[in-house]
Amino acid sequence: MSQMERQYSALVVEDDAHTRELVVFNLEDAGYRAHSAANGVEALKLLENRVVDIIICDIMMPEMNGFALREAVQSQAKLRDTGFIFLSAKSLPEDEIRGLRYGVDEYITKPFNPEVLVARVEAVLSRRAALAKAAQLDPLTQLYNRQAGEREIRRELERIQRYPSIGTLVFLDIDEFKAVNDTLGHAAGDRALVLLAEVLRESTRSVDIVTRYGGEEFVLFFPQTDEANAVPVIERMQRRFQQLSEAHNHLRISFSAGVVEAPRDGNQFDVLCRRADEAMYSSKEHGKARVTPWRPDMRHAARPLRTREHARPRDEGTATEGTDLRV
């Protein structure tokens, strides 16, 4: 348990008191928060007021057996991602197959070694955590993907509303990215995206949210940071990205960025993202490789140029090695 990043909670559902207490004891000894129930009915009652990370459940129980409990858990959205292990005295292959067909993570037969059971629990939770993390990351850059990043930023904006604070959202887009792909190939474009992701990662704090929003677009959120302090950080990122892209790819690639401050410029993600996008658009119109804070008069200036939500003016032209892609 010492290797885990947080304390996990488990629910042991077992009608045999001795087995139930043994499993609970070993889980608590390993650092888990362990709850217990004697059957499925008791378990569902307990789960009305809490969510656990994993359920370790006997199959043959009075009132509601393990199969029925598994179906009940799967029917509730808040419990659907809970880990689930079946315990059973039935060890025939057909019994195990039936149990696994309910979509559980493990099927453990009795009698079992309590230490092995705890190790199985830890393995299930580690596997689930790895899958959950992978589902949140963009495969190429290993930054948050759009869905995960947006979710995290929305949470931060909710905190700002509950506990008055500030935060800065940045929308940035690589300049002339289409020219990189068209002229040098998509592998070069991918290298530029990975390089920018590295720059963003090394230039931000652990509390900051860095997201690949789509294509060559990235969205960043800096909690507890106003516009005045965020802009110099983004400008340093620009210089670093240009230096590294030229050193690695012999290309002076840049990005344009737009900046908004919450709650001054809005407190809803969609509004802030659109306004930061408009400010980024202004950066591109005024020479690229710029950081532009949003201002109210930008709404009317940028909107007529759009054909769809978050549309981009396509950067025309070609690129060759040694070319400055900002112009």
Taking only the tens place, the pLDDT of each residue in 74-131 is 999 889 889 999 999 988 888 889 888 999 999 999 999 999 999 999 999 999 888 8
Structural domain includes residue 45: yes
Note the pTM of the prediction, 2 decimals. Answer: 0.65
Residues 167 and 283 placed together within one structural domain of the fold: yes
Residues 274 and 172 placed together within one structural domain of the fold: yes
Q: What is the pLDDT of residue 209?
A: 96
Give the CATH number for residue 28.
3.40.50.2300
Q: What is the pLDDT of residue 299?
A: 66
Structural domain includes residue 244: yes
Residues 154 and 282 placed together within one structural domain of the fold: yes
d(CA 100, CA 65): 15
Residues 170 and 219 placed together within one structural domain of the fold: yes
Residues 117 and 225 placed together within one structural domain of the fold: no
Structural domain includes residue 258: yes
Residues 271 and 153 placed together within one structural domain of the fold: yes
Q: What is the pLDDT of residue 294?
A: 96
Phi then psi dihedrals of residue 266, to 5 deg: 140, 160
d(CA 231, CA 118): 49
Query: What is the strand order of the sheet 217-223 is part of?
Result: 209-214, 217-223, 167-174, 255-262, 291-293
Structural domain includes residue 196: yes
* End-to-end Cα spacing for the chain: 55
Residues 121 and 156 placed together within one structural domain of the fold: no
Q: What is the pLDDT of residue 99?
A: 86
Q: What is the pLDDT of residue 5?
A: 54
Looking at the DSSP bridge assignments, the partners of residue 260 are: 169
DSSP 305: G
Nearest to 223, CA basis, from 208, 243, 241: 208
Provide the number of structural domains found in the chain. Answer: 2
Residues 51 and 183 placed together within one structural domain of the fold: no
Give the CATH number for residue 212.
3.30.70.270
Structural domain includes residue 324: no
Query: Would you say 13 and 64 are in contact if contact means Cβ atoms under 8 Å apart?
Result: no
The pair of three-digit structure tokens given for residue 181, joined into one six-digit string: 């792909």
Structural domain includes residue 314: no
Query: Would you say 106 and 120 are in contact if contact means Cβ atoms under 8 Å apart?
Result: yes
- The radius of gyration of the chain from alpha carbons, rounded to an integer in Å, stands at 26
Q: Which residues of the chain have pLDDT under 50?
A: 1-4, 300-327
Q: What is the pLDDT of residue 105?
A: 93
Distances (CA, A) of 165 to 155, 211, 231, 275: 13, 22, 18, 20
Residues 24 and 110 placed together within one structural domain of the fold: yes
For residue 16, give its domain range. 9-134
Q: Which residue has 């294509």 as its token pair?
A: 215
Helix (H) or strand (E) run with residue 220 in it: strand 217-223
Phi then psi dihedrals of residue 293, to 5 deg: -70, 145
Could you tell me where the DSSP H helices lie in the chain?
Answer: 17-29, 40-47, 66-74, 93-100, 114-136, 146-162, 177-184, 186-202, 227-249, 269-285, 298-302
Q: Which residue has 């858990």 as its token pair?
A: 73
